[in-house]
Amino acid sequence: MVMPESSRTVMHAADIARALTRISHEILESNKGAADLVLLGIPTRGVTLAERIGGLLADIAGVSVPVGALDVTMYRDDLHRNPTRAPHPTSIPAGGIDGKTVVLVDDVLFSGRSIRAALDALNDIGRPAAVRLAILVDRGHRELPIRPDFVGKNLPSARSERVNVQLAEVDAFEAVTIGA
């Protein structure tokens, strides 16, 4: 894949893998193990990241952690500006989320609006004991009082810049880039 000249790579495949391993350890430490954990990825790349973290948690803790997907499209407050957003399927693991610690997983945290939408979507599904947030890249510029619990990389950026996460499962290429 050819990167635009104005983009620079800030994370390579090995950096992403290291960040996800660290996040997985932090999740286990924070939760005091893997009991009652559920990972819910926000489509598209958040689902892939949640599946990877789920695999890492199984390797580290020796216990399978349920992984699902939480589509937030219809809960967003910006549909009037971007009406062509296609919904993705929501898949909640068989045990549900009631009484569980749900870790929402997404690729980039920017304004916080996707996470606000995810919290609204969770309310329609069940009542978790706690909700945590795992993000691969936190670029700042929050518009809402939302802060991640687990961060792969803090990446200060200008509002006008674009942070792109590419994952092998989705893009056939693995990197995090920033550019105009």
- Residue 109 resides in a domain: yes
Q: What is the pLDDT of residues 19-55, one digit of tens each?
A: 999 999 999 999 999 999 999 999 999 999 999 999 9
Range of 45's domain? 14-74+97-160
pTM of the model: 0.93
Q: Domains in the chain: how many in total?
A: 1
Confidence of residue 89 (pLDDT cuts 50, 70, 90): confident
Average of per-residue pLDDT across 169-175: 95
Confidence of residue 78 (pLDDT cuts 50, 70, 90): confident
pLDDT at 82: 66
Confidence of residue 91 (pLDDT cuts 50, 70, 90): very high
- Residue 172 resides in a domain: no
- Residue 123 resides in a domain: yes
pLDDT at 174: 97
Nearest to 10 by CA among 142, 171, 169, 166: 166
- Residue 37 resides in a domain: yes
- Residue 39 resides in a domain: yes
Q: What is the CB neighbour count within 10 angstroms for residue 33? A: 12
The CA dihedral of 72, 37, 144, 152, to the nearest 10 degrees, is -100
